[in-house]
Amino acid sequence: MCGIIGYLGKNEASPILLESLRRLEYRGYDSAGITTIHNGKLFVKKAAGRLVNLADLLVKEPIRGKIGIGHTRWATHGKATTINAHPQSSNNVSVVHNGIIENYKEIKKQLIEEGYFFRSETDTEVIPLLCQKFLDQGYSYTDSVHQTVDLLKGQYAICFLFENNDDLIFLARSGSPLVIGHSRSTTYVASDALALAGLTKEITYLEDGDTAAISREGTTIFDSSHKNVHRSKTFVSINAIDLQKGGFKHYMLKEIHEQPKALAKAIQTVTSENWLDEASVGNLPLDEIEGVNLLGCGTAEYACMIASYWFENLAKLPGRTEIASEFKYRDPIIKPNDLSIFVSQSGETADTLSALRYVIKNKGHNLSILNNLASTMAKESTYSLPIHADLELSVASTKAFTCQLVILAGLALELGKIRKNLSRKEYEQYREGLLNLPGYINIILDLSEEIRKIAQFLTECPNALFIGRGLMFPTALEGALKLKEISYIHAEGMAAGELKHGPISLIERTFPTVVLAPSDYLFDKTKSNMEEIQSRNGPIILLSDARGIDDVGKDVDFSLTLPKVHPLLTPIIYTIPLQLLAYHSGVIKGLDVDNPRHLAKSVTVE
């Protein structure tokens, strides 16, 4: 997801913009740029690639000015080149933009016919040129911006700067987050409060349809009908310490190691009496729920798949999972007593948000499980539950995934209790299992060096399979996603039983299979899958517990002995080594594990 920053104050804007853009690097990007205004003139500097390229350019060609905007771009329309980088500008207007202008082609065609000249391949460039057109017709800054946004269709967060006016930043928000930071004689703008950590804690969140004019005299906010409106300030406690790597080489490794602590907070929540009280789910008729739909994207969707087993097992509720980007296009039936659960770390993922809006429009019960309660999904969901993972800066979802699983497990247990499907003894058993998880995760984190050795082998292979049965099937999907998104090794996750129905043709010496097989009721079946692989010379990396390793550990190429936990909690345990496997593979290949190529932390476009 692109990153936006804006500054209006008493100091030189350029270094402040650059430092704040560094705070947004985790979101993923492929070019960056800033605009400042000095002596009334617009100065624009942009560079493709990493932020360091922009920093180098600004050393060679510094720009002055106490007002500016900046952007890290994740390319949607047009390649990741300097000309396509933001800010995009006309003669007198410079803008940065997150989101997609869906009707940019027709606007661009009209402006070209009216004699306006385009330089880039981006959809964004229509914004400054459209605003320029209204300024050229004599409209005020405010009216020019309002006329411009009234013509835009799609999602956007936009900052406008105007030549000859070094006391005005105009903002517009529709579908993509934008916040204003206040600090004495300085005002900041950002697409994410995180970029303002250490600069200010006083934040105003703009709402969809809002525009705002920021000047040294103050900030005026307009609602979607362009009428003045008040938006309250909140205090955000992101401190600079949270942004450090805490002695770890990468945020991803730090966040993997934070899981015992993060999970402890989530576990403490779901194991406390009546945690699903009035405050959290209000009058959601949990006792009348007849089915659960679980929706998310990527890793969050795999959390949904795992949770669907739990709702069936613990609450005897039909649990259906959907890839959020597919959901609304099949015109799903929303039953009055179904509960739709939306899982999202960022709460800004456009596909998941779009599915949520479909359910809300069809008056379905909806509940979001989120890491950011100031997010768009939190604002629009009828109910939302926090996962307590704290900041997750690496693009890879690690501690957020396991915290999502804990909250989902807690929800399934609670529904099991409410529906009287769980005896007190059974409930206590699961509760005990959850409480023991942080200790088990610490044991696995101590296997990091052993896992690094397996990664050494994996990085010599162009492909890998991940297989498992039952709860280990979605866990295998997540393991494959982690490996491919972090190390760029092609990896495929699948149900172990599916291997013989086609994919087994892939097996050969250079095509290893990671087998997830706790010694449970499915172990023997997975064992026969392993024999199928071994008889075709395929290398095997086996993750199991002591009993499983004793049984077949001597026949495999690599094995990892994991703690034996309650079968329903194995996904949380087995995902930790898979996160470390992906991390070490990426590091061994010398890749930027915190910002993998082409990826964004939250994908705010459909």
Residues identified as active-site: 2, 601
Q: How far is the CB of 356 from ligand AGP (least distance, A)?
A: 11
**What residues have CB less than 8 Å from 558, skipping those under 6 apart?**
453, 454, 457, 539, 540, 541, 542
CB of 375 or CB of 559, closer to ligand AGP: 375
Write b or e for each residue in 328-339: b if 16 or more Cβ atoms lie within 10 A of its Cβ, otherwise e: beeebebeeebb
With vertex at residue 199, the alpha carbon angle to CA 202 and CA 248, rounded to the nearest 5 degrees, is: 120
* Region binding ligand AGP by CB under 6 A among candidate stretches 69-77, 343-351, 442-450, 505-513: 343-351
The conformation of residue 500, written as its DSSP 8-state character, comes to G
Q: How far is the CB of 445 from ligand AGP (least distance, A)?
A: 19
* 3-state class (DSSP) for residue 324: helix
**Residue in the block written with tokens 């597919």:** 326
CB of 173 or CB of 482, closer to ligand AGP: 482
x/- site string to ligand AGP, residues 470 to 489, per CB under 6 A?
---------------x----
CB of 292 or CB of 297, closer to ligand AGP: 297
Distance between CA atoms of 31 and 73, rounded to whole angstroms?
Answer: 5
Q: Which amino acid is at 463?
A: N
Q: Considering the rule CB under 6 A, would residue 397 count as an interface residue with ligand AGP?
A: yes
DSSP 46-102: EEESSHHHHHHHHHHS----SEEEEEEE--SSS-S-TTTSSPEE-SSEEEEEEEEET
Q: Are 593 and 254 in contact (CB under 8 A)?
A: no
Q: How far is the CB of 344 from ligand AGP (least distance, A)?
A: 3
CB of 292 or CB of 481, closer to ligand AGP: 481
Q: How far is the CB of 602 from ligand AGP (least distance, A)?
A: 5
CB of 558 or CB of 583, closer to ligand AGP: 583
CB of 211 or CB of 381, closer to ligand AGP: 381
Beta strands in 242-395 (DSSP E): 291-296, 319-323, 338-344, 365-370, 383-386
User: Which residue's CB atom is positioned nearest to ligand AGP?
Assistant: 298
* Region binding ligand AGP by CB under 6 A among candidate stretches 254-262, 307-315, 346-354, 468-476: 346-354
Distance between CA atoms of 186 and 137, rounded to whole angstroms?
Answer: 32
CB of 128 or CB of 493, closer to ligand AGP: 493
Binding residue for ligand AGP, selected from 516, 602, 604, 605, defined by CB under 6 A: 602
Q: Is 481 left (phi over 0), alpha (psi -120 to 50) or beta?
A: alpha
CB of 146 or CB of 257, closer to ligand AGP: 257
Q: Are 281 and 288 in contact (CB under 8 A)?
A: no
Distance between CA atoms of 284 and 141, rounded to whole angstroms?
Answer: 46
Distance between CA atoms of 465 and 451, rounded to whole angstroms?
Answer: 17
Q: How far is the CB of 599 from ligand AGP (least distance, A)?
A: 6
Q: Considering the rule CB under 6 A, would residue 346 count as an interface residue with ligand AGP?
A: yes
Binding residue for ligand AGP, selected from 20, 94, 122, 345, defined by CB under 6 A: 345
CB of 90 or CB of 345, closer to ligand AGP: 345
**Binders of ligand AGP in range 9-48 (CB under 6 A):** none
**Residue in the block written with tokens 């949770």:** 307
CB of 322 or CB of 485, closer to ligand AGP: 485
Q: Considering the rule CB under 6 A, would residue 603 count as an interface residue with ligand AGP?
A: yes
Distance between CA atoms of 297 and 305, rounded to whole angstroms?
Answer: 11
C-alpha dihedral (52, 55, 60, 62), degrees to nearest 10: 170
x/- site string to ligand AGP, residues 123 to 162, per CB under 6 A?
----------------------------------------
Binding residue for ligand AGP, selected from 344, 459, 513, 604, defined by CB under 6 A: 344
Beta bridge partners of 187: 8, 182
**Binders of ligand AGP in range 366-395 (CB under 6 A):** 395
Q: How far is the CB of 302 from ligand AGP (least distance, A)?
A: 8
Q: Which amino acid is at 295?
A: L
Q: How far is the CB of 300 from ligand AGP (least distance, A)?
A: 4
x/- site string to ligand AGP, residues 274 to 303, per CB under 6 A?
-----------------------xxxx---
Task: Show the tokens assigned to 232.
Answer: 């309250």
DSSP 105-134: HHHHHHHHHTT----SS-STTHHHHHHHHH
Beta bridge partners of 169: 161, 214
# residues contacting ligand AGP (CB under 6 A): 15
Q: Considering the rule CB under 6 A, would residue 533 count as an interface residue with ligand AGP?
A: no
Sign of the torsion formed by the C-alpha atoms of 393, 396, 402 and 407: positive
Q: Considering the rule CB under 6 A, would residue 575 count as an interface residue with ligand AGP?
A: no
Q: How far is the CB of 74 from ligand AGP (least distance, A)?
A: 12
CB of 344 or CB of 519, closer to ligand AGP: 344
With vertex at residue 194, the alpha carbon angle to CA 193 and CA 195, rounded to the nearest 5 degrees, is: 90
Q: How far is the CB of 560 from ligand AGP (least distance, A)?
A: 21
Q: How far is the CB of 341 from ligand AGP (least distance, A)?
A: 13
Distance between CA atoms of 605 and 157, rounded to whole angstroms?
Answer: 12
Sign of the torsion formed by the C-alpha atoms of 309, 315, 317 and 320: negative
* Region binding ligand AGP by CB under 6 A among candidate stretches 338-346, 411-419, 525-533, 544-552: 338-346
Q: How far is the CB of 590 from ligand AGP (least distance, A)?
A: 20
**What residues have CB less than 8 Å from 403, skipping those under 6 apart?**
262, 263, 266, 371, 387, 388, 389
Binding interface with ligand AGP (CB under 6 A): 297-300, 344-346, 349, 352, 395-397, 485, 602-603
